[in-house]
Amino acid sequence: MQDPMTPRRFRIARTLRETKDIFTWELRAEDGGEFAFSPGQYNMVYIYGIGEVPVSISGDAADRRKLLHTTRAVGAVTEAMRALKKGDMAGVRGPFGSVWPLDKLEGKDIVLVAGGVGLPPLRPAVYHILRNRAKYGRCTLLCGARTPQDIAFAQELERWRGRLDFDVHVTVDSAGPDWRGNVGVVTTLVSRAVFTPEKTAALVCGPEIMMRFAAAELANRGVREDSMYITLERNMKCGIGLCGHCQLGPVFICKDGPVFNYGMIKQWFLKREI
């Protein structure tokens, strides 16, 4: 087994510009091997000479030949990532962390709520659900972004929207006159979505404020808190529960998370003193 502290070398096979500050890498292992992961997991991505950051895996778990990461450039490491080109190298440690409990949710209606760069960590869950569509009830993706130009995976969303067995609603916080779609924060879509609350599970990923309000809206509709799952982000270093950097109350986000059951994590998530 690979030492979890030693990065594996990956080469960038393709880069895709999703929005002005979000980009996707398609990576191939230099050793020619495969990469296995489960939806919800992340890697520690190491940029030689700059630093290492946690980034969720945004590709299809069924395709082990390529590893996809979708990242928003916000600071030193992620800006350096954006500057890299096809053929450049990065180090990868992982996959780490907990997963969206998709097997456990079979038979339920699924509502996925994504805000901003919260969609990439949910995309592997969407791939899984669509591949196993008959195993789930009604499935809905509610997706929010700042403006129409900030919508990641726009073409893919359009394709998904064309499916009769998957409801996709996209909204933006603000838009110019040529935008024909929805305007308003993503939480406003919750009240309009069609699902049976008692048999619904929600997977929520985005900025913490958005997740808090989305959870409140879902609870308002009658979805149980222990049927909601959210992802948490904190500064990370080791990724394997050794350094304590990512501790939140009794849990380490790196290994107990990033995906948490909302009913379980709520008291720590909402605690202000931490």
Partner 1 sequence: MKTLEQILAEHRFFRDMPPEYLRLAAGCAANKRFEAGQLLCREGSDADYFYVISRGSAAIEIFAPGRGPITIQSLGEGDMAGYSWLIPPYKYRLDVRAVEPVLAVAFDGKCLREKCEANPALGYDFLKRVTQVVIARLGATRLQLLDIYGKNLF
User: Is residue 152 a contact partner of residue 18, using CB atoms and an 8 Å limit?
Assistant: yes
Tell me if 120 contacts ligand FAD by CB under 6 A: yes
Stretch that binds ligand FES, among 35-43, 172-180, 196-204, 243-251 (CB under 6 A): 243-251
Tell me if 91 contacts partner 1 by CB under 8 A: no
Tell me if 116 contacts partner 1 by CB under 8 A: yes
Of 178-197, binders to partner 1 (CB under 8 A) are 179-185, 187-188, 191-192
Tell me if 56 contacts ligand FAD by CB under 6 A: yes
Nearer to ligand FAD by Cβ, of 41 and 171: the residue is 41
d(CA 166, CA 151): 19
Query: Which is nearest to 41 in space by CA: 92, 93, 98, 2?
Result: 98
The one-letter amino acid at 209: I
Tell me if 145 contacts partner 1 by CB under 8 A: yes
User: Is residue 262 a contact partner of residue 216, using CB atoms and an 8 Å limit?
Assistant: no
d(CA 145, CA 22): 12
Q: Which residues contact 128 (CB under 8 A, 6 or more apart)?
A: 39, 61, 62, 100, 102
Residues near partner 1, by CB under 8 A: 74, 115-117, 144-146, 150, 171, 173-175, 177, 179-185, 187-188, 191-192, 206-210, 213, 233
Residues near ligand FES, by CB under 6 A: 236-239, 241-246, 252, 254
